[in-house]
Amino acid sequence: TSEFIKQLRERTSAPIKEVKSALVSCNWDIEAAQTDLRKRGVVLASKKSSRLAAEGLLALAQNEKKAVLVELNCETDFVARNDIFQSLALSLAKSALLVEGSKEPSVATPFSPECLEDLKMNFDHAKLTGERTVRNAITEVAAMMGENVKLGGGFVITAPSQGVLSTYLHTSPQPGIGRIAGILSLEVEDKDVSLDAVQRVGSELAMHIVAAKPLFLTKEDVTADALGNESDILRSQAESTGKSQMAIDRIVEGRLRKYFEEVVLMEQKFIVDDSVNIKTLLNNLSKEVGSTVKIGNFLRVEVGEGLKRLEAVGGSEPLTQAA
């Protein structure tokens, strides 16, 4: 009997008490007990679905046309480190490549969890094999983990017509998953240039985006609201110094320049070499490859932000740059 318990524990990862009671109620028929546990697991999982799932992982998959980023959430970091959870996240990202993005190059589009829930997937993890829908797989994994596990939506970003789509995952326990993602498309004007240097800089820039947290691509992209709020704050700070209006204007101007350096990607100092900003870096790269290289789009996503972003951009409305 202890051998049956051990086998069923290995197959299902269910708590030992649940395993034993399923075996007893099924007259020690291991297949029937496994089915019974799955039925019960679904009930257990649905009870847990009201609990907040703010931990988790981002999973990334890419082909020559696009990259997709999917967020899978759980309640604790402990579950996020589990190999079944990680395997599910990776499988979800691969399936999400089926989600249609924009037809335009270098466009990032958010998608809601509902886009994936009914997709059928094949799993090849020892404890999660065969075909099932995304929704059922998530429910099963939630039952195994004893936690609320939920899909947090994602993004699809299309590749440039000429150039590279570069990605970087931070705090990455294995290839394809991490806690923070940086993605950008680098567009190259001339189709005959070698992309080696562009790929190298693209990889560094994806890391830069994760570290430097830009909010906008260019100064022109800074929203009137963001600029107005920042100007008001800086002006009231400057006015408290009691200096002349002309001096205050100069102070505000200087501090706004600093603000742009903090939040605008093109104005930020490059983390790999802070003697240049990103604008200069791209000018130098363009000279090196003999063709204009520019950033078509970028995205920075952190675990826990996916849902907030989806709410901010209203479901599946195309997002032309990181908000």
pLDDT tens for residues 198-223? Answer: 999 999 999 999 999 999 999 999 88
61/140 Cα distance (integer angstroms): 23
163's enclosing H/E stretch is strand 163-170
Looking at residue 176, its pLDDT comes to 95
8's enclosing H/E stretch is helix 2-12
Q: Find where tokens 């086998």 sit.
A: 7
Looking at residue 2, its pLDDT comes to 83
Looking at residue 313, its pLDDT comes to 39
Cα-only R_g, the chain: 24
179/168 Cα distance (integer angstroms): 11
Query: Length of the chain, please?
Result: 323
Is 122's pLDDT higher than 90?
no
Distances (CA, A) of 68 to 123, 157, 202, 203: 19, 6, 17, 17
Q: How confident is the model at residue 160 (pLDDT cuts 50, 70, 90)?
A: very high
Is 224's pLDDT higher than 60?
yes
Long-range contacts (CB closer than 8 Å, 24 or more residues apart) made by 283-290: 285/197, 285/198, 285/201, 288/197, 289/188, 289/193, 289/194, 289/197, 289/198, 290/190, 290/193
Q: How confident is the model at residue 52 (pLDDT cuts 50, 70, 90)?
A: low
Q: Find where tokens 């929203």 sit.
A: 223
Q: What is the mean pLDDT of the chain?
A: 86
For residues 291-307, give the mean pLDDT: 87
**For 293, phi and psi rounded to 5 degrees?**
-120, 130
Q: Find where tokens 């802070």 sit.
A: 274
* Confidence (pTM): 0.79
Ranking 83-87, 99-103, 241-245, 268-272 by mean pLDDT, the lowest is 99-103
Looking at residue 239, its pLDDT comes to 84
Give the strand pairing for 128-133 and 120-125: antiparallel
Q: Find where tokens 């700070």 sit.
A: 237
Looking at residue 63, its pLDDT comes to 93
CA 49 from chain centre, in angstroms, equals 22
Q: How confident is the model at residue 56 (pLDDT cuts 50, 70, 90)?
A: very high
For residues 269-293, give the mean pLDDT: 96
The token pair at 89 is: 């996240």
Distances (CA, A) of 240 to 186, 229, 232: 44, 17, 12
Looking at residue 48, its pLDDT comes to 66
Closest by CA to 271, choosing from 212, 317, 215, is: 212
